[in-house]
């Protein structure tokens, strides 16, 4: 006779595939569904629902051929997790209920439903806080920390994600649980690489960035040595190691590592496979193998645009745009820039509205109100970038200006592309867009690192020079004008020539609105005086500038 239900439940729970493996997951889900069909309410049913929620969440965006892997739409994993939380609470198991709430929070966050995600996360934290320290189970604590790390990572709160992932590593080591240690170590390495990616190279930033990447490399090698289950050693460890090696400038070594993962593609569900395609594409791009890089990124994009981790989607679209550009495919690069802008704005709108709902629904709780405002500000920054040029847009640079100390001097350069309408009419809008992109790069290269370049709107750009007076603004404006006029624009299209007119105004940061108005008037004077020149507020327009 076969084992009874409790023994079968324990056996199934012992085999939960914490890291996605398509074949193993399909078999496991069939067994779970069969058990749940006859299992009464209680702790065992809660454990199975929670485990199924975790596994289904990993299949939301996979093309899983197995009916057992299909939930009730995208809400299936969240419903499982909520059901498990209710059963755990009824059984007097608040710590386990908190862990289930975090599974639901992660599912909602992945779908962009920040209101539901935040509600479930708050419920989890309140429940966990109610458990006395001496009564907390390290394994459940490790699960809780892993899920908190994943949730924070989904909303780009990398500092907290790292903190929770390291707690999970410590808890897993305490109980000697290698599978949980592997999942937590994977999260630590992933967050370290993402934090490094947000640091600009150069100066002190270079040292900090290198330190983060080197630590990620060390953790990836540990996963290669003793990660569990097998897919950690065969795929996820090599992927993280290759990412770190690429960031350290060792693309050839990274590709050698990645070649060992090619046979594992069939084992992976869609989202881990998309991450693997992204790393391969990045490595091939750095090796100069552009067509192969493009093929890998083309394979990743359709998966990621179905609602996966937005950070990976943004990274993939940015990289694919650079590959298109390196291949001379301006139209492809422009299409990726537009898709990226659309996706960022779409996600921002979803999350901003959700945060407002959350603010009003919890208006009386000051701690939650502050948390929501802080997260809304983080999300708002995703809408502060111009998708065509990659520069700050008007909203982004206005935030920069507001942050300047009120009494500090600031110089504003407002510039406009001369006769840009004629460029569009004669050469087409694709050429016009490429002109704006190249112009943005020229402007960034023509000013100091502390200066801020933004696309003010249309063919207008605004350059912010903190701490500078009019004389330095005039010099910077003239340097920009010469750089633009001397640039070989014919590389875009034969017969193309571009010049800019620049208006300069300075004053205290507290008077930025007035300074902007004066810079606009100076720009108008430069246009009226014949274009291709720099006019400083309060000075007479100079004669025609030499090209």
Q: Catalytic positions, please?
A: 459
Residue ranges of the alpha helices (H) in 428-532? 429-446, 470-486, 512-528
CA dihedral sign, ordered 276, 282, 288, 291: positive
Q: What residues contact 543, with CB distance under 8 A and at least 6 apart? A: none
Closest by CA position to 219, among listed 256, 244, 254, 246: 244
Run of H or E including 456: strand 452-457
* 452-457 vs 460-466, strand pairing mode: antiparallel
Closest by CA position to 190, among listed 144, 141, 146, 125: 146
Q: How far is Cα 387 from Cα 138, in angstroms, rounded to an integer?
A: 45
Q: How far is Cα 350 from Cα 367, in angstroms, rounded to an integer?
A: 23
CA distances from 343 to 314, 330, 512 (A): 8, 20, 32
Closest by CA position to 337, among listed 456, 434, 194, 416: 434
Q: Say how far residue 440 (Cα) sits from the centre of its chain.
A: 22
Contact (Cβ atoms closer than 8 angstroms) between residue 379 and residue 355: yes
Q: Which two tokens stand for residue 364?
A: 């009386």
Q: How far is Cα 312 from Cα 161, in angstroms, rounded to an integer?
A: 16
Closest by CA position to 102, among listed 75, 125, 129: 125
């Amino acid at each position: 006779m076969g084992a009874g239900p409790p023994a079968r439940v324990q056996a199934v729970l012992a085999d939960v595939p914490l890291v996605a493996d398509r074949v193993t997951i399909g078999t496991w889900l069939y067994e779970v569904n069969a058990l749940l069909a006859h299992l009464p309410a209680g702790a065992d049913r809660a454990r199975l629902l929670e485990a199924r929620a975790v596994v289904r969440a990993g299949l939301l965006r996979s093309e899983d051929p197995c009916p057992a892997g299909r939930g009730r739409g995208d809400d299936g994993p969240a419903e499982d997790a909520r059901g498990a939380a209710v059963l755990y609470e009824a059984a007097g198991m608040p710590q386990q209920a908190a862990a289930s709430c975090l599974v639901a929070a992660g599912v909602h966050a992945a779908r962009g439903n920040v209101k539901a995600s935040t509600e479930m996360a708050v419920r989890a934290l309140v429940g966990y806080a109610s458990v006395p320290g001496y009564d907390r189970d390290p394994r459940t604590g490790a699960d809780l920390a892993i899920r908190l790390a994943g949730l924070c990572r989904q909303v780009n709160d990398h500092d907290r994600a790292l903190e929770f992932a390291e707690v999970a590593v410590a808890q897993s080591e305490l109980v000697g649980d290698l599978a949980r240690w592997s999942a937590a170590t994977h999260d630590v390495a992933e967050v370290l690489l993402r934090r490094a990616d947000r640091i600009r190279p150069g100066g002190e930033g270079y040292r900090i960035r290198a330190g983060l990447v080197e630590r990620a490399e060390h953790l990836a090698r540990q996963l290669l040595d003793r990660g569990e289950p097998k897919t950690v050693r065969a795929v996820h460890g090599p992927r993280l190691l290759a990412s770190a090696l690429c960031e350290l400038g060792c693309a050839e070594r990274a590709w050698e590592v990645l070649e060992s993962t090619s046979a594992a593609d069939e084992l992976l569900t869609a989202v881990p496979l998309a991450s693997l395609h992204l790393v391969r594409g990045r490595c091939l791009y750095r090796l100069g193998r552009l067509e192969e890089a493009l093929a890998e990124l083309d394979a990743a994009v359709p998966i990621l645009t179905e609602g996966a981790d937005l950070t990976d989607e943004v990274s993939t679209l940015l990289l694919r745009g650079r590959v298109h550009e390196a291949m001379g495919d301006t139209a492809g690069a422009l299409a990726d820039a537009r898709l990226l802008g659309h996706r960022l704005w779409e996600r921002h709108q979803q999350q901003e509205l959700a945060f407002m709902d959350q603010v009003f629904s919890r208006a009386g709780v000051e701690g939650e109100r502050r948390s929501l405002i802080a997260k809304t500000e983080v999300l708002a920054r995703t809408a502060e970038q111009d998708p065509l040029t990659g520069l700050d847009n008007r909203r982004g640079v206005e935030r920069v200006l507001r942050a300047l100390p009120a009494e500090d001097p600031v110089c504003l350069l407002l510039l406009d592309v001369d006769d840009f309408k004629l460029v569009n009419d004669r050469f087409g809008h694709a050429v016009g867009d490429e002109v704006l992109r190249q112009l943005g790069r020229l402007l960034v290269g023509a000013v100091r690192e502390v200066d801020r370049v933004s696309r003010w709107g249309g063919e207008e750009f605004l350059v912010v020079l903190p701490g500078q007076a009019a004389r330095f603004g005039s010099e910077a404006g003239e340097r920009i004008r010469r750089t633009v006029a001397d640039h070989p624009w014919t590389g875009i299209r034969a017969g193309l020539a571009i010049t800019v007119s620049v208006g300069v105004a300075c004053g205290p940061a507290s008077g930025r609105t007035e300074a902007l108005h004066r810079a606009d008037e100076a720009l108008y004077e430069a246009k009226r005086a014949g274009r291709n020149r720099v006019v400083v507020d309060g000075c007479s327009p100079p004669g025609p500038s030499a090209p």
